[in-house]
Amino acid sequence: MSNIKFNNVNKSFGSNKIIKNFNFEGNDDEFLVLVGPSGCGKSTLLRMIAGLEKIDEGEIKINENLINNLHPSKRETAMVFQSYALYPHMNVYENMSFGLQIEKKSKDEIKSKVSNAAKILKIEDLLSRKPKELSGGQRQRVAIGRAITRNPKIFLFDEPLSNLDAALRAEMRVEISKLHQKIKTNMIYVTHDQVEAMTLADRIVILNEGKIEQVGTPEEIYNNPDNIFVAQFIGTPKMNIFEIKPEDVVSNKIIKILGNEIQFNKYNIEKKKYYIGIRPEHFDIDDHSEYEFSPKIDLVENLGNEKIVYMTKDKHQLSAKISSKSEIKNSFKFSFKNIFIFNENGERLRS
């Protein structure tokens, strides 16, 4: 049982403010994924938890204990690095037991802990090898194993899969997911890959420029984005966002979208600028959606099971993801429930 709490955390490098007033409360033993574009401060946040980066202002608490001034080794966290950071001059066993040996644990205890971790990760027959004799996936397994032997309250993963190739990444993703089910403890996982975020997380924290954009389960994030940034960050291809000019607002309940006059009863719409978002997968050809428009088709990418159609309508660049079986005609449909409206600041209109 462990959880983490951030209280007004600030961090800057020189005059560059990386983390701005970060507040967050984690649940017990959840798999938390911090995701965001590069430079958004997600790795810095992780390194602050680990103690590799000083906390300028604010508090970080693990299980209600303040860890700000604790030495990294006393925070009971374990970190898995993107570059694995295995000690090249030691074999796998030595790598995994190094921390325990420094703590001067008994030989039997070290042995049982290492073999237990090796068993979980299925690296028992690699224990006498040097890191350079291992493949990328094996190295990352060893790095995770090293973290397990430390028996931490919180696992910290710093983009652990981004050095692996696509197939191995998918495999390791499943492994990490299983690992969390096996050793139920808090894991904080930093990535810029939205697929990893969606598949692994209990909750996702989306960061941008040092601030939280949205926190929620993967479903919430996908179905109910708070703003344009979140809406566009999750989902491939990214959500179509296009501008609605004040003259397209017909009345305080009706907006003209892609040639259709659509009635919104829940919102009070003023004569202002708005942004409309529709996900590419919500454009369709064959089904019986309410609204229709006929764009100019620019390009079709066939991915085998689906097609991505790039098109232009009223100077808006749009994309649509449709089944590869459907035949492309000059008309696309969309339905009312899949329309997201954002105000001119990019925030979602809520009723």
Partner 1 sequence: MKIKNIIIFSIISSLLLLSLISIWKILSTLQGVKLDNLNFQILFILGFLVTFLNVIIEKKINFLIRLFIFSFIFIFIDGYLIQNLPFWYNFGSFLIICLFFNKLKKYNNDFFINEHSTQTIIFDFLTLFGIVLFSFVILFPFYMMLVTSFKTQIALLVNPLDFSINFNQDIKELFKSYFVIFKSYKFGKYILTSTIVSLGTVLITLLFAIPAAYAIARLNFFGKSFMSTSILIIYMFPAIVLVIPLYTVFSQLGLRNSIFGLLIVYTATTLPVAIYMLQGYFKSIPKELEEAAILDKLSWFGIIIKIILPLSIPAISSVALYVFMIAWNEFLFSLMFLDNPNSFTLSRAIQYLSGDAETPRQYLMAGSVIVTLPVLFIFVYFEKYLVSGLTAGSVKG
Interacting residues toward partner 1 by CB under 8 A:
50-52, 72-73, 77-79, 81-89, 98-99, 102-103, 130-134, 136, 139, 146, 150, 163
* Minimum distance of partner 1 from residue 160's CB (angstroms): 12
Q: Looking at beta carbons only, is 32 or 78 nearer to partner 1?
A: 78
The minimum distance between CB 227 and partner 1, in angstroms, equals 34
**Most distant pair of Cα atoms in the chain: their distance:** 77
Using CA atoms, how far residue 291 sits from 88, 211, 256, 272, 286, in Å, is 61, 37, 11, 23, 12
Q: How far is the CB of 84 from partner 1 (least distance, A)?
A: 6
Choose among 224, 257, 256, 249: nearest CA to 332.
Answer: 257
C-beta closer to partner 1: residue 10 or 82: 82
Cβ-based nearer residue to partner 1, 73 or 260: 73
Instruction: Answer for the pair 203, 30: CB distance below 8 angstroms, yes or no.
Output: yes
Answer for the pair 179, 171: CB distance below 8 angstroms, yes or no.
no
Quote the CA–CA distance of 320 and 338 in Å, as a whole number.
13
- Closer CB to partner 1, 113 or 146, in the complex: 146
Q: How far is CA 161 from CA 1, 195, 200, 294, in A?
A: 26, 12, 12, 42
Query: 10 Å Cβ neighbour count for 123?
Result: 20
State the nearest-atom distance from the C-beta of 106 to partner 1, in Å.
Answer: 16
Q: How far is the CB of 140 from partner 1 (least distance, A)?
A: 10
Q: Tell me the Cα Rg of the chain.
A: 24
10 Å CB burial of residue 202 (0-12, 13-18, 19+) is: middle
Minimal distance, residue 142 CB to partner 1, in Å: 11
* Cβ closest to partner 1, residue 78 vs residue 262: 78
Residue number with CB closer to partner 1 (84 or 189) = 84
In the complex with partner 1, which residue's Cβ is closer, 6 or 84? 84
Q: Least distance from C-beta 27 to partner 1, angstroms?
A: 24
Q: In what order do the strands lie in the sheet with 154-158?
A: 77-80, 154-158, 186-191, 31-35, 203-208, 211-216
Tell me the C-alpha distance between 118 and 161, whole Å: 19
Helix (H, G, I), strand (E, B) or coil at 282: helix
Min. distance of Cβ 156 from partner 1 in angstroms?
Answer: 9
- Residues forming beta bridges with residue 12, ordered by sequence position: 17
| Residue 131 vs 277, nearer CB to partner 1 | 131
Nearest Cα to 87, choosing from 146, 170, 151, 164? Answer: 146
- Rank residues 12 and 82 by Cβ distance to partner 1 and give the closer one: 82
CB of 125 to partner 1, least distance (A): 18
